[in-house]
Amino acid sequence: MEATIEVTGLRKRFGQVTALDGMSFTVTPGRVTGLVGPGGAGKSTAMRVILGLDVPDEGRALVGGRPYRALRRPLCHVGALLDAGALQPGRTGRDHLLWLARSHGLPARRADEVIERAGLGAKARRRAGRYSPAVRQRLGLAAALIGDPPVLLLDEPFTGLDAGGVAWLRGLLRELAGEGRAVLVSSPLMSELEDTAGHVIVVGRGAVVADAAVAELVEAASRGRVALRTPAREEAMTALAHAGATVAVTGPDTLTVAGLAAERVTALLGRRKVPFSGVAAHRATLEEAYMELTRQAAQPGAGS
């Protein structure tokens, strides 16, 4: 089976609320794809539609070319973590994995293998009701991996993890993608995916706002901006603004200039005798790129 997710023109309304408004994207194998957007943007609904849990009003979602409900042995095609808290409190983590294994005729050994991979250890034999949020996330990942699937759908897997857990999960996601799997990870925070995702799909109001490689996004957000270091911030701002540039204060002695090339900035400041100690092309963070995109999406008629 081709390890891809294809989502085409999904529309879904819950009463008056439009959850999905023509969402389309493709997830390809071998990399971590981030699905990013604010709460209510449609990330979780899209994932539920892909898994056949919610029925879209329009459009379709295919995994490896087939609707999820038509898959034989679905856990061996797609592993999902939707809600790590969805556990029966009286059941141990291992028994949770065991019933999942049994549903596909897999041996109990498989449960122990994923316990190992998710780093659950002896906690797997305790009742799930006593798990910390971090342990629940690890159990959810173990459950997603039970069928050793080529496609993974993880809804906000970083939630509840401490710094160590976040680092561990980033490593695991890169490793899983490196094995050739398609890994779709949703998050409300772009920063969580900064070093992990090779590709991001930014969604807002039920539709895709941007769908690009991380490098391209950063490039687009950085284009035409100049970072300037100067002890005379006020004078520099006045001079540049008079020349028609947009200037933003980014620190006590740093400014970001948009609308003027670097050579024109240095020439202008030299003429006006404004001191400065450095001019460089500005490199935006992924977070900035995201903020930019979601701001555009929030304005009617604007888009990317």
Partner 1 sequence: MTAATTPYRSRVSGGRDGFAQALRAEWTKFRSVRGWVVTVAGAGALLVLVVLLTAGTNVATCGRGDVEEPCPGPVLGPGGRAVEDRFYFVHQPLDGDGVITVRVTSMSGRIRRPDPVGLVPGVMPWAKAGLMIKESAEQGAPYAAVMVTGAHGVRMQHGFTEDVAGRPGGVSAAAPRWLRLARSGDTVTGYESADGRQWTTVGTARLEGLPRTVRIGLFAASPGDLTVGHGALAGNTEERFTEVTAVMDQVGVRGAGTGGAWKQDDIGVSYEPDGTPHHAGGLSRSGGTFTVTGVGEIGPRLEGMTAQNTLTGTTPALVVVIVIGALFVTSEYRRGLIRTTLTAMPRPGRVLLAKATVIGGVVFAAGLAGAAAAVPAGLRLLRDNGNVILPVGALTEARLIAGTAALLALSAVLALGLGALLRRGVAAVIAALALVVLPYALATASVLPDTASAWLLRLTPAAAFAVQQGLPEYPQVTHYYSAAGGFYPLPPWAGVAVLGGYAALAVGLAAYRMRRGDA
Stretch that binds partner 1, among 101-109, 116-124, 251-259, 289-297 (CB under 8 A): 101-109
Distance of closest approach, residue 106 Cβ to partner 1, in angstroms: 5
Site membership for partner 1, residue 99 (CB under 8 A): yes
- Sign of the alpha-carbon torsion through 47, 63, 104, 70: positive
Stretch that binds partner 1, among 34-42, 68-76, 225-233, 280-288 (CB under 8 A): 68-76
Integer CA distances (angstroms), 265 to 9, 271, 283, in order: 45, 10, 17
How many Å apart are CA 95 and CA 124, to the nearest integer? Answer: 8
Stretch that binds partner 1, among 88-96, 167-175, 243-251, 265-273 (CB under 8 A): 88-96
Stretch that binds partner 1, among 34-42, 140-148, 223-231, 288-296 (CB under 8 A): 140-148
Tokens of 69: 């409900």
Q: What is the residue-wise DSSP string for 210-232?
A: EEEEHHHHHHHHHTTEEEEE-S-
Q: Choose, by CB under 8 A, the member of 61, 78, 141, 226 that binds partner 1.
A: 78
Site membership for partner 1, residue 292 (CB under 8 A): no
Site membership for partner 1, residue 15 (CB under 8 A): no
Tokens of 89: 């409190």
Site for partner 1, residues 212 to 271, rule: CB under 8 A: 213
Ramachandran angles phi, psi of 22, nearest 5°: 80, 40
**Which residues are registered as beta bridge partners of 92?**
127
Q: Choose, by CB under 8 A, the member of 136, 170, 199, 205 that binds partner 1.
A: 199
Site for partner 1, residues 163 to 182, rule: CB under 8 A: 179-182
Total residues interacting with partner 1, rule: CB under 8 A: 58
Residue (150 or 165) nearer to partner 1, CB: 150
Pattern of binders to partner 1 over 23-62, x per CB under 8 A?
Answer: -----xxxx----------------x--xxxxx-------
Residues 6+ apart with CB under 8 A from 188: 36, 37, 38, 39, 156
Distance of closest approach, residue 74 Cβ to partner 1, in angstroms: 6
Residue (186 or 230) nearer to partner 1, CB: 186
Q: Which of 106, 143, 114, 117 is nearest to 128 (CA)?
A: 143
Token look-up 């981030």 returns 34
How many Å apart are CA 124 and CA 108, to the nearest integer? Answer: 13
Sheet containing 225-229: order of strands? 246-251, 254-258, 225-229, 278-281
Distance of closest approach, residue 49 Cβ to partner 1, in angstroms: 9
Q: Is 274 exposed, middle or buried (0-12, 13-18, 19+ CB in 10 A)?
A: buried
Site membership for partner 1, residue 68 (CB under 8 A): yes
Question: Where on the chain is the footprint of partner 1 (CB under 8 A)?
Answer: 1-3, 28-31, 48, 51-55, 68-69, 71-78, 80, 82-83, 85-92, 95-96, 98-100, 102-106, 110, 143, 146-150, 179-182, 198-199, 213
